[in-house]
Structure 1
Amino acid sequence: MRPPGDADRTALIRLMTDPVTREYLGGAVDYASRQALELSPLGLTWGRWVLALAEDDTMIGSITLDHDRGELELSYALLPEWTGRGYAAESCIALLAWARDALDDEQVIAVSQTRNKRSVALLRRLGFTVRRGLEEFGTQQLLMERSLREPLPEYGQSLQTSADPPPPTRR
């Protein structure tokens, strides 16, 4: 995890507009919105940190903790070719451990579409439980929560299994 840089602009715009990624993040992005993203300062784009490969610093996704809903909220997304490899789990564990040690918040929430089975399964393995269902972006969502004081899974512990549903594919 690291702050986004100018070299990440193309990958960040792709992450925010990719149809497979957007499948569970509110749907397709129209042309005008994409143009606005391309012209906006990098700091206005989604995600506080990028996820990058250690070996060559290639950006593969984004992760953030913020208080948009009035509570500490975890959000993450990976480019489709990087899903299912454990990067989301590793990044979430690292960020939640940091939050536990650095922030005063006791709880963290995450919101996922109910039909995003992979994300819901990962959040459950990270110790999140369902607080309630809600509707956003015209679809059913789960608002999930976990205590920051509860132990986190170990890095080496397998959080994604062959039983998890496959990632979405391009249409």
Structure 2
Amino acid sequence: MSIESGEALARTDRLVLREVRARDLPVLERMWRDPVMRRYLGGPVSDEVAAERRVGDHTGGLMVARSSGEIVGWCHLGRYRTGDLELSYVFLPEWWGRGYAREGCAAAVGLAFDRFPDAPRLVAVTQEANRRSIRLLEALGMVLVDTFEEFGARQVMYAIDRPYSSDGEMR
């Protein structure tokens, strides 16, 4: 599988972020059902939830692939229940420890502020126990803004403000 010209929404030195396609569903299904990837996300989803997601709206979903076409992860840009713009992500375990999550999420952050010009900030929520995810969010320049209990676990919310240009205008 390769990335066709013009499909990329964002590129980095090693990665391409593109919209989700129907042929991505087997990889997404693995992300929904893999207990390692879902450890801090409430565990694998049920058959019913997976069926709903298969036919659901994947708007905002971004497949993160190496330039060779191999999918390494998924990012999602959407609205959090507070109205804030939110970044969610899952990366395949076989690609962990290679910097792909940081590189892909950094590209998604830039894309978020381009796609949502009204958003003053971007948030991300993870379990407090998910130290790898917290390190990633901090590496992206996000700062802790809230902690709360949900889904039977302590959650943390990180945020990054929209960058401003030198003349004080929002970018």
The structure in which a higher percent of residues are strand is: 2
SS at match of 2:124: strand
1:24 and 2:40 matched: yes
Distance 1:116 1:105, change over 3 A: same
- Determine which of 34, 52, 63 is the counterpart of 2:65: 52
Whether the aligned pair in 2 keeps the contact of 1:47 and 1:76 (CA below 8 Å) is no
TM-score by length of 1: 0.77
1:90 and 2:103 matched: yes
* CA RMSD between the two structures: 2.1
Whether the aligned pair in 1 keeps the contact of 2:86 and 2:122 (CA below 8 Å) is yes
Cα distance in 1 for partners of 2:45, 2:147 equals: 25
- Determine which of 19, 27, 30 is the counterpart of 1:11: 27
Cα distance in 2 for partners of 1:150, 1:25 equals: 33
Q: Which residue is 1:99 aligned to? A: 112
Percentage identity across aligned positions?
Answer: 37
Alpha-carbon offset, residue 45 of structure 1: 5.0
Unaligned runs of 5+ in 1: 152-171
Cα distance in 1 for partners of 2:113, 2:159 equals: 14
The structure in which a higher percent of residues are helix is: 1
- 5 Å matches for 1:1-171? 1-37=17-53, 40-41=54-55, 43-45=56-58, 48-55=61-68, 57-69=69-81, 70-102=83-115, 103-149=117-163
Q: What whole-Å deviation, never above 9, does each CA across 1:41-81 have from its counterpart, x for those lacking one? A: 2x5359611111211x1222110111132110111111111
SS at match of 2:105: helix
Alpha-carbon offset, residue 99 of structure 1: 2.8
Alpha-carbon offset, residue 18 of structure 1: 0.6
| Greater Cα offset, 142-151 or 58-67 | 142-151
Whether the aligned pair in 2 keeps the contact of 1:96 and 1:148 (CA below 8 Å) is no
Q: What whole-Å deviation, never above 9, does each CA across 1:8-48 have from its counterpart, x for those lacking one? A: 111110011110011011223233333444xx32x535961
Cα distance in 2 for partners of 1:88, 1:149 equals: 21
Cα distance in 1 for partners of 2:38, 2:120 equals: 30
Distance 1:81 1:150, change over 3 A: farther
Cα distance in 1 for partners of 2:42, 2:59 equals: 13
Which amino acid is the alignment partner of residue 30 of structure 1? S
Whether the aligned pair in 1 keeps the contact of 2:20 and 2:58 (CA below 8 Å) is no
